[in-house]
Amino acid sequence: LKAMIPGGSSCPVLTGEEAWELNMDYDSMAKAKTMLGSGGVVIMDEDTDMVKAALRIIRFYQHESCGWCIPCREGTLWLKKLLTRLDEGVGTAKDIDLVGDLADNMLGRTFCPLGDAAAMPIMSIVRKFRHEFEAKLAQKSVSMAGLPQLVSING
């Protein structure tokens, strides 16, 4: 067990270790800073790519956003763009920070709860699985190490 979303995709993610230690009740989830939400439990095994999981979640919320309020419309769009870059290994370490900051700035600033629902799982995935984001970037750097440098030609 690598990770668990205890109450549907809108809830903060638990690591496997956290999940094993908790009872599935409201008080235990609240103490762990997550929630039971809709009760749709999502289990992720050790083979789960957490960067792809975050991207899949934000794609859903970006599609579902009505576009009425700016934090949700633009926030989900930019989170999707940033997470796509990170998933492809072409992002930067600053992009990882930007994902967390952008999601954090969506919380409590949208007309309906969809913005919060989009932000909470992304924030927790970045916080708890940052090493996977960094590993993707490092893997891409290694695979591109043998490529020749780009040269600017004035002209």
Q: How far apart are CA 93 and CA 60, in angstroms?
A: 24
62 and 82 share one domain? yes
> How do the pLDDT tens digits run along the chain, 155 residues long?
999 999 999 999 999 999 999 999 999 999 999 999 888 999 999 999 999 999 999 999 999 999 999 999 999 999 999 999 999 999 999 999 999 999 999 999 999 999 999 999 999 999 999 999 999 999 876 555 555 555 566 65
5's enclosing H/E stretch is: strand 3-5
pTM of the entire predicted model: 0.87
With respect to residue 154, please indicate whether it lies within any of the assigned structural domains: no
77 and 119 share one domain? yes
40 and 80 share one domain? no
Sign of CA dihedral 7, 10, 12, 13: positive
pLDDT at 40: 92
23 and 60 share one domain? no
Token pair in block for residue 88? 């492809």
- Residue 73's CB is within 10 A of a number of other CB atoms, namely 16
66 and 128 share one domain? yes
Residue in this structure with the two tokens 């690598």, named with its chain if needed: 2
* Containing structural domain, residue 8: 1-48
Contact 28, 22 (CB under 8 A): yes
DSSP 106-152: HTT-SSSTHHHHHHHHHHHHHHHSHHHHHHHHHHHHHHTTTSPPP--
